[in-house]
Structure 1
Amino acid sequence: LPRADQPHVHALYGLCRYADEIVDAPDRGSIAERAAALDALRARFDRDLAAGRSDHPVLAAVVDTVQQLSIDPELLRRFFASMRMDLSVSGYRTHAELERYMDGSAAVIGELMLPVLRPPDPDAARDGARALGVAFQLTNFLRDVDEDLDRGRVYLPLEDLERFGADPRRRVADAPWRAFSRFQIDRIRGIYREADAGIELLPSRSASVIRAARVLYSGILDRIEAADHDVFSARARIATPIKVAVVGRELVRRTPSNTAGRVTPRSSPRPLPAER
């Protein structure tokens, strides 16, 4: 991304990480204490935004980004609401319930990034941006189920697990778990395909960056399949040389001469290079 836009990405990422640490870090105290700290952060954001400035080590950059890019503060409030759910909700009965959580934890991140990515028609690109945020998070949920169990949470729809007779608490990639994992991967790939249409609406420079992230993240699903859906023994990862190759490939494929500021449409992103 252009150098001038990078601090805005850093500001939004910093807020997400800081809120995550409040919710998940064991040294942050009891659930009640962590809830109070998160509520205080949200209240401080509202006060500092109203004041037009902040001296908070994280919120100073966030307030500046919100003001410079004219971001709707309600997007950040939806984010805080979902982070608050992590302190009281340990599972989700249906995919629709999980989607309500992901509205503020994932879809809203796509919306927050739109002013940074500068699509010619933000309204047209919004659904794709939301879908990509959701696809990224669902990929995380499947890859990190073992870590989330350690925190007492399961971000997988209970009704779908029951349909296949799968129980992640067994931490074994048995036949029911593999059947569920295949189903979930198909669902996530469908959401990535929804997101692809939005990527094509971005300016060439932004599209190349986001497409690289999309290819790398969706590649985690390939790694899960290659491990026969065993997400309990080891974390699915993309090797650094593969990351470098994908980023380089997408940068080379930029089409800045497109006068509409759009990338050349392509049916689907190219897959990851093979690992050696």
Structure 2
Amino acid sequence: MVSSELDAAGIDDPALRDAYARCRALNAAHGRTYFLATRLLAPSQRPAIHALYGFARMADDVVDDPDADASPAAVAARLEEVRARMRRGLAGTDPRELVADGEPVVAALADTVSRHGIEHRHLEDFMDSMAMDLTITDYATFNDLARYVHGSAAVIGLQVLPVLGTVGPREEAAPYAADLGVAFQVTNFLRDVGEDLDRGRVYLPRDELAAFGVDRELLAHGRATGRTDPRVRRALAHLVARTRAVYRRAERGIPLLHPVSRPCVRTAHVLYGGILDEIVAADYAVLERRVAVGSGRRAAVALPQLARAVGARWRRPGPAAA
């Protein structure tokens, strides 16, 4: 399967093929919902998506899973090292040279950016947001959170858009792609409140929580005791409703994508939105455990979209082939 995807994408160099295979393995291991949706893309599109995911995962792991004895300064230095390696790749270093230097993920990223004309500023914005995680532990308002979410989420949608392709000018679809990235990110914030607290962070804006009588201390108490206060439930219900509105706005962009790409994005839209359903079904008890969309529901959503994806491939070639 890996070989057929690389063949379809026109990736012939053995070193690059190994680099892309490494990124695919990262996606399969860590991004279950994301990887499932990616399987609905045309084979020629998948390696690029895996490369973008692989780099994002590599940078994110520096921030979220540092060595136990690493100082904040050491983590910051490691993140800047990742940025420097990224810039080296984007500057046109031969991907085979990067692989030889032990940089398979950066090699795949650089090749993907070159093939699809992805703007370098989207990668720089992403790294800026990763750096914010090292010094900022909470946000007063959604406006304050906006810069972080732009770099950590909106630009992900903008990075993948050239790979997905559009039926009209790309700039018309770009705002919706950014919105979908934001919807996914805020869904993560809601699902991972407890885990983020363990890392010393609260991404849910203080003023939104305070309107319901919630603060960091109340969240921490719920995490420690395994009980969710009614005030927390009401705050989360409000934020879930707000996030659903972002999903509705982002959904308007799906018809603007290349037909081959729509089943993938629609599946990701439904499955990630389904995490909000699971939060509600758990009565907002996300401080003590992590909710997830069950495999049965994932299959029920993905299988019909798979049929649509296959049909679309028969009718029209994917963006890369076109």
TM-score by length of 2: 0.77
Distance 1:233 1:48, change over 3 A: closer
Matching residue's letter, 2:273: S
Greater displacement, 170-179 / 192-201: 170-179
Q: Is the Cα–Cα contact under 8 Å of residues 143 and 236 in structure 1 kept in the other structure?
A: yes
Length, aligned pairs only: 260
Return the match for 1:197 from 252, 255, 261: 252
Measured in 1, the distance between the counterparts of 2:94 and 2:205 equals 41
Residue 170, structure 1, aligned to residue 221, structure 2:
yes
Quote how far apart the aligned CAs of 1:110 are: 0.3
**Maintained 8 Å contact 1:53/1:63:** no
Q: Deviations over 1:91-114 (max 9, x none)?
A: 000011111100000000000010
1:124 equivalent among 165, 172, 197 = 172
Q: 2:104 is matched with which residue?
A: 57
Once the two structures are overlaid, the 10-residue window that deviates more, 163-172 or 173-182, is 163-172
Quote the offset at 1:216 in angstroms: 0.6
What is the letter of the counterpart of residue 158 of structure 2?
Answer: E
Task: After superposing the two structures, state which structure 1 stretch, 19-28 or 74-83, moved more.
Answer: 19-28
Shifted more, 243-252 versus 62-71: the winner is 243-252
Give RMSD over aligned pairs.
1.7
* 2:85 partner amino acid: R
Match of 1:46 in 2: 87
| 1:160 paired residue among 192, 202, 208 | 208
Q: Is the 2:66–2:75 contact (alpha carbons within 8 Å) kept by the matching residues of 1?
A: no
In structure 1, give the amino acid aligned to 2:77: A
- Aligned to 1:27, the other structure's residue is in SS state coil
- The SS at the match of 1:222 is helix
What corresponds to 2:145 in structure 1? Answer: 98
Q: Return the alpha-carbon distance in structure 2 between the equivalents of residues 108 and 23 of structure 1.
A: 18
Equivalent position amino acid for 1:87 in 2: L
The alpha carbon displacement at 1:258 in A equals: 7.9
Q: Secondary structure at the match of 1:96?
A: helix
Structure 1: gaps (5+ residues): 262-276
Partners in 2 of 1:191 and 1:87 — Cα distance? 27
Q: Distance in 2 between matches of 1:258 and 1:126?
A: 25
Q: Percent identity?
A: 45
Give the corresponding residue for 1:15: 55
1:1-276 aligned at under 5 Å gives the runs 1-27=41-67, 29-54=70-95, 55=98, 56-120=103-167, 121-167=169-215, 168-171=219-222, 172-253=227-308, 256=312
Instruction: Measure, in 2, the Cα distance between the counterparts of 1:49 and 1:219.
Output: 36
Runs of 4+ in 1 over 4 A off after TM superposition: none
1:169 partner letter: A
